[in-house]
Chains A and B, each alone.
With several copies, the nearest count.
Chain A
Amino acid sequence: MEKQSFFRDRIMPVGTILLGLLVIWYIATVFLNAPFERDTAARAGTPISFSEILPKTMFQERPVLPAPHQVVAEIWDTTVNKPITSKRSLVYHAWITLSATLLGFGIGTVLGILLAVGIVHNRAMDRSLMPWVIASQTIPILAIAPMIIVVLNAVGIAGLLPKALISTYLSFFPIVVGMVKGLRSPEQIQLDLMHTYYASPSQTFWKLRWPASMPYLFTSLKVAIAISLVGAIVGELPTGAISGLGARLLAGSYYGQTVQIWSALFMAAALAATLVIIVGFAHTAVLRRMGVKP
């Protein structure tokens, strides 16, 4: 019964939608890649029929949109067929990016929560800090990232941390926004109860505000971890784009290797999906422990 429903509830729906997307993708591949074939043929002076174009669009070297099987082949080739320590292995690069993501996400989460706590508890911080936290987010990170990295380098911080800090920079914001809301979500009567016990702010925090903010926290965490990954990838550019998925994307883009871009993109997306799903599981587990009515 369990197994059956796993198939029916998980594989089937995802599979169906996937299949649909795949079909659309193939169709798009034909349409987006056909003009190039037509041009080549035109330049060569040999007219070409649609049925001749069709198979060609599936195997271009630099397609506008690579066909799914090309991407799959590339991913297979760069994950399974290469030792994971190799610089040509996508797993290796994914790991580099993942480590920066996780570090950045960790710091970002802690920082975001601390800021939210400060904002909720200290009115001076609420009034003065929040506008500037917002303003900080409107600074295009790619523009100042090099400066940050240069400065950090100058004070002797190099390696994983500068990249992670860029993840942090992007990921702390959803956490601040969500947690400020979440920490303020307890009902008046629940706060009053704490008030009557003359609970200290830290007790009110741990016994009321914190548990009450859980739905907001986990929602924010999902967004934050996804953005962290984006941040880590962005952060790989100004650190010299030496390794990591960002470097792969860039190199792919630089040399017009669409297939490589797409496979790196898929790796990044798969990584993100996995991370978000892990956070989702944690969410469910915490909710169950908190006795939420199913």
Chain B
Amino acid sequence: MTITPASVVSARNLGLTFETNDGPVNALTGVNLDVNKGDFVSFIGPSGCGKTTFLRVIADLEKPTSGTITVNGTTPEDARKNRSYGYVFQAAALYPWRTIEKNIALPLEIMGYGAADQKARIERTLDLVNLTGFGKKFPWQLSGGMQQRASIARALAFDADLLLMDEPFGALDEIVRDHLNEQLLKLWDRTNKTICFVTHSIPEAVYLSTKIVVMSPRPGRVTDVIESTLPKERPLDIRETPEFLEIASRVREGLRAGHSYDE
């Protein structure tokens, strides 16, 4: 067996093709990747290169059309049934008929948390994303960024070892983003979760990750995997160090290479 025991996600030669009204679309081809327990992996790449698709495959929301993938050593399906991951979608996907509080309570209700526990968790996560006081509002009464934060709170409310986050901080300003970045790192450090994180921001990817996966489109594939040499302890000003900048420029190179196919 090539799967190391600590391997959380392991993709071998993974491919996925969508059939559409005007021909097939190769969303992923020949993806090989290992994510180990405790890793913080960022996915970065041009729009449409298959990042979301890859996360959806891990989450058992799409079935690959070729290759194999295991999650926690089992099939994605079993992993999903074990409720082993939390997923933050690219769009907030809040249920419009539930208040913010109730939206966060949704997974808790489903997974059978007690009422008091639910309340505590809702409060804690609302606070974590700076939405205290907005729990009673309906989604359409919140700004775009607030909705996205609510959806992050929803994914953090229950204990999953694996977090799949699809551009969670895309609609947030720098300050909130920095704040949430720090919080996320702390959470990751404290709970030893494994995190797969899609972002478009190179500094964010470098700041957060232990491993950066650079992807490129048409067909979507992995062009580079960069292991971060930064220490686990990362104050915000680590972003000014040469080490940081060097990794960032390597990522930028990779990205540019991917883009060149296109423009």
Contacts and interface: CB of A to CB of B under 8 A. Distances in A.
Contacts of B110: 194, 197, 199-200, 203, 207
Given A195-B80, A196-B59, A207-B110, A189 B96 contact: no
Nearest to A189: B93
A6 interface: no
B107 A197 contact: yes
B81 A198 contact: yes
Interface stretch (B6-14, B82-90, B213-221, B223-231): B82-90
Most buried by A among B86, B97, B138, B140: B97
B45 to A, nearest CB: 21
Contacts of B89: 189, 192-193
A207 B85 contact: no
Q: How big is chain B's contact interface, by range?
A: 20 to 34
Interface stretch (A60-68, A106-114, A158-166, A286-294): A286-294
B91 A189 contact: yes
Interface string B125-162: 00000000000001010000000000000000000000
B60 interface: yes
Contacts of B236: none
Contacts of B80: 195-196, 198
A209 B80 CA distance: 20
A265 interface: no
B74 to A, nearest CB: 13
A190 B98 CA distance: 13
Contact of A211 (B60, B85, B97, B138): B97
B109 A291 contact: no
A4 B241 CA distance: 66
Interface in B79-127: 80-83, 85-87, 89, 91, 93, 95-99, 106-107, 109-111
Given A197-B107, A199-B110, A211 B61 contact: no
B87 A196 contact: yes
State the main secondary structure of chain B at its contact with A.
Answer: loop
Contacts of B86: 196
A199 B110 CA distance: 6
Nearest to B97: A290
A208 interface: yes
Interface in B204-257: none
Interface in A176-204: 187-190, 192-200, 203
Contacts of B82: 198
B87 A293 contact: no
Contacts of B106: 193, 197, 207
A203 B93 CA distance: 17
A286 to B, nearest CB: 9
A191 to B, nearest CB: 9
A207 B80 CA distance: 19
Nearest to B164: A196
A190 B95 contact: yes
A196 B61 contact: yes
Given A203-B110, A207-B110, A291 B96 contact: yes
A197 B97 contact: no
B85 A292 contact: no
Interface in A212-244: 212, 214
Contact of A196 (B21, B85, B98, B140): B85
A212 B140 CA distance: 16
Most buried by A among B59, B95, B106, B109: B95
B88 to A, nearest CB: 10
Nearest to A196: B87
Nearest to B86: A196
A56 to B, nearest CB: 58
Contacts of A192: 56, 59, 61, 87, 89, 93
Nearest to B111: A197
B83 A195 contact: no
Given A188-B140, A198-B83, A291 B91 contact: no
28 contacts: A187-B93, A188-B140, A190-B93, A190-B95, A192-B56, A192-B61, A192-B87, A192-B89, A193-B87, A193-B89, A194-B110, A195-B61, A196-B61, A196-B80, A197-B83, A198-B81, A203-B110, A207-B109, A207-B110, A211-B95, A211-B97, A212-B97, A290-B97, A291-B21, A291-B98, A291-B138, A292-B97, A293-B138
**Which 8 pairs across A and B sit closest by C-beta, in order of nearness?**
A291-B138, A290-B97, A196-B87, A189-B93, A211-B97, A199-B110, A197-B110, A198-B81
Given A189-B89, A193-B89, A197-B83, 12 more contacts: A192-B61, A195-B59, A198-B81, A198-B82, A203-B110, A207-B95, A211-B97, A212-B97, A291-B98, A291-B140, A292-B97, A293-B140
